[in-house]
Structure 1
Amino acid sequence: MSKKVIALIVLGMFVLALGLAGCGGQTKQPAAQAKVLRVGSDTAFAPFEFQDEKSKEYVGFDMDLIKAIGKQMGYEVQIQSLNFDGLIPALEAGNIDAVISAMTITDERKQKVNFSSPYYKSGLTMVVKNSNDTIKSFKDLEGKNIAVQIGTTGADEAKKIKNAKVREFNTAPEAIMELKAGGVDAVINDMPVNEYYLAQGGNKDAKTVGDRLTSEDYGIATSKKNAELNEKINKAIDELKKNGEYEKIYVKWFGKKPQ
């Protein structure tokens, strides 16, 4: 065999080796991971957040809104169900990125968290049993037994009522159950929640009385350490209001257009 043939064989083997090495080195690039927005919510506050009995999914006005906000921002939203009084501590500890839970914007809360621009206007009303004709206004609650949800503005207002005995519960449904059982004279809670409860059949046992006690704005809470996220959420809310998606979600859950 001539030197020329040997050289050609060696060259061919070298080229083949390079080709195989090249094939082996072509690794598939991993897909970019979706950005995740960890959102805390007290998921027992219909119609804003509650668990669907059939699908077991968290549904409601807040749930639809935060998913739309996440989509607008390019984030995958993951909901974590927490008790209402544990939401801000979880946010401060960094366990979640944001809170949407029909949370009223207050000066006290603003000392701990940042709030988005308001996305819903609410207020406090009271519910009593249908057979109760003595309580007609908030003044009539003096000296009465009142059920509230712990950590809420309803609890704060109830504690201002003279000689009232205030009982705090972890969830709004628990407070309502105590009223049905006759353990309290009234429940103070957010107006849309009271209205939704009555519309879903609660009017068989209870009714709302008196005028709305307060006017409150709900906001999405974020950590004071993450001002950028707050700005992104505000921008997304503005865009959803402009493109009609916010109104669509509002009508779905409240049967009317936002004021």
Structure 2
Amino acid sequence: MFKKKLLALLLACTTVFSMVGCSSNEAKKEEAKEPETKKVLRVGVTATYNPWCYKEGEEIVGVDVDILKEVAKRMGDYEIQFEVASFDGMFGLLDAGKVDTVAQQISVTPAREEKYKFSEIYAYNPYKLSVRADDDSINSVEDLKGKRFACQPAGFEKEFIEEYKEKNDPNDEIEVVITEEQRGLVVNQNKADAHSYPVLSFDRMIEEGGLNLKQVGENLYEENNAYPFLKDCDEELYNKFNEALKSMKEDGFLTNLYNEYFGMDISESVMNK
């Protein structure tokens, strides 16, 4: 009887120690597991273009930021990592593969389409001529002959005026002033007579800059805004990004966002409205 009791006691102890050992091993396995890391969507920005992408204190905010945050969420809880650079610098980051895309209300142009592949178009942005408020000599693009038109070294604005001159200015009467400066300031200081500027952002631009400008004439052109990616980019990331952006257009997210910022919907073309 004593032997049977001793054997039972030994078996019980063995079971207890075995259970403790298993629990300890499981705990060690749990500790050894590395924490799950979120996938990162890397975005180059200048963070200087209000209201699309700019800084409030140290926080990067704006229309593009709101869109990208929702895109990242719909992609499956991606984490956005912003890289701040100059306009040319952020494209340099993209070309070097250091970011996945860039954001500053980027326009789709033939030159850019040769180099990048773009996301779904997420905004249609109409432009008008901007001139000094006391200048009544320019009321349309036809009045630019004998005048100076300011534009950036690259972008849709430059392509627009070059194409217009090629078709309509055989005697080269329109002087194109290429500048890195804020074009509204250049016109305000009488270093040029006109430039083109987004209709939606114009009032904010003159208010913040204290500029004495006005917009004249009909819409000159309409930018198609989209996010550029390298042609050999991560295909899975690109497809998820595109599907997320497309769904935001379809379910009214973009419409609501644009109405909140601008009081109008620019998720569809506005040229003929």
Q: Structure 1-normalised TM-score? A: 0.81
Q: Structure 2-normalised TM-score? A: 0.77
Unaligned runs of 5+ in 1: none
1:139 alignment counterpart: 142
Counterparts of 1:41-120 in structure 2 under 5 Å? 41-52=45-56, 55-74=57-76, 75-120=78-123
- Contact 2:151/2:176 (8 A) holds in 1: no
1:216 to 204, 223, 233: 223
- Contact 1:147/1:187 (8 A) holds in 2: yes
Amino acid in the other structure paired with 2:71: I
- Contact 2:120/2:246 (8 A) holds in 1: no
Amino acid in the other structure paired with 1:166: V
Residue 36 (1) aligns with residue 37 (2): no
Amino acid in the other structure paired with 1:242: E
Distance 1:83 1:35 in 2: 25
- Contact 2:84/2:90 (8 A) holds in 1: no
1:151 alignment counterpart: 154
Distance 1:201 1:19 in 2: 69
Distance 2:46 2:240 in 1: 23
Amino acid in the other structure paired with 1:69: V
- Contact 2:40/2:80 (8 A) holds in 1: yes
Amino acid in the other structure paired with 2:91: I
- SS of match in other structure, 1:210: strand
1:126 to 91, 113, 129: 129
Deviations 1:131-164 (CA, angstroms, capped at 9, x unpaired): 1111111222233233223321112223454341
1:21 CA displacement: 9.7
- SS of match in other structure, 2:88: helix
Deviations 1:81-135 (CA, angstroms, capped at 9, x unpaired): 2333344332121010012221111222111111111111123322111111111
- Identity between Structure 1 and Structure 2 (%): 27
Amino acid in the other structure paired with 2:229: T
Distance 1:209 1:194 in 2: 12
- SS of match in other structure, 1:192: coil
- 1:99–1:201: structure 2 CA closer, same or farther, 3 Å change rule? closer
- 1:140–1:42: structure 2 CA closer, same or farther, 3 Å change rule? farther
1:240 to 245, 248, 252: 248
2:3 alignment counterpart: none
Distance 2:200 2:45 in 1: 17
Tell me the number of residue pairs that the alignment of Structure 1 and Structure 2 aligns: 250
1:187 CA displacement: 2.3
Distance 1:46 1:109 in 2: 23
